[in-house]
Homo-oligomer: A and B are copies of this chain.
Amino acid sequence: MKVSQGVEWTLHCVTLLALAPGGVPVRREQLAGHYGLPEAYLAKHLQAATKAGILRATPGPKGGYQLGRPAADITVLDVVEAIEGSARPFICQEIRQQGTGALPPESCERQCQINVVMNNADNAWRSSLRATTVADIAGGLPDEIVERNKKLLAR
């Protein structure tokens, strides 16, 4: 169980973009520099977020990244799934149907109990992530930090 750092990077970038005055585009280089991240690799994650509709990318001069929709409509889960995919973390291999103790298919119409438990936990995790939006995170920042970031983005 491990959440990739790309999720952290993208969450920070998306939150920062939510503070951009007037939602003006921010260049990739500026985003990477703001958090001291490798621009080339960050690009991959921003691309994924763009493909998912979380971000909107504008090419050319004056271009850059903006939020793809209002910050209040972007949940943390949206970002996580954009970067990590939406596959379940536990995939039942149906080993109950293998080996000398293999159960016949007719005994396996119902899902494996273990699979149910693991999926329930995954649902709880996702529900928790879905309950918070990027607007919530941005709104929870102290005013001084918001002002500081806005000032940096304005340059």
Q: Which residues of A contact B (CB under 8 A)?
A: 1-3, 5, 7-9, 11-12, 15-16, 32-37, 76, 80, 84, 89-90, 92-93, 95-96, 98-103, 107, 113-114, 117-118, 120-129, 132, 137, 140-142, 144-145, 148-149, 152
Contacts and interface: CB of A to CB of B under 8 A. Distances in A.
Contact of A34 (B34, B92, B100, B141): B100
B9 A89 contact: no
26 contacts: A1-B1, A1-B2, A1-B80, A1-B89, A2-B89, A3-B89, A5-B93, A8-B93, A12-B96, A15-B113, A33-B100, A34-B100, A35-B96, A35-B98, A36-B102, A37-B95, A76-B121, A100-B152, A101-B149, A101-B152, A117-B129, A117-B132, A117-B137, A118-B129, A121-B128, A124-B128
B101 A35 contact: yes
Given A8-B92, A114-B137, 4 more contacts: A3-B90, A35-B98, A113-B141, A121-B125
Nearest to A90: B3
B132 A128 contact: no
A57 to B, nearest CB: 21
A129 B125 contact: no
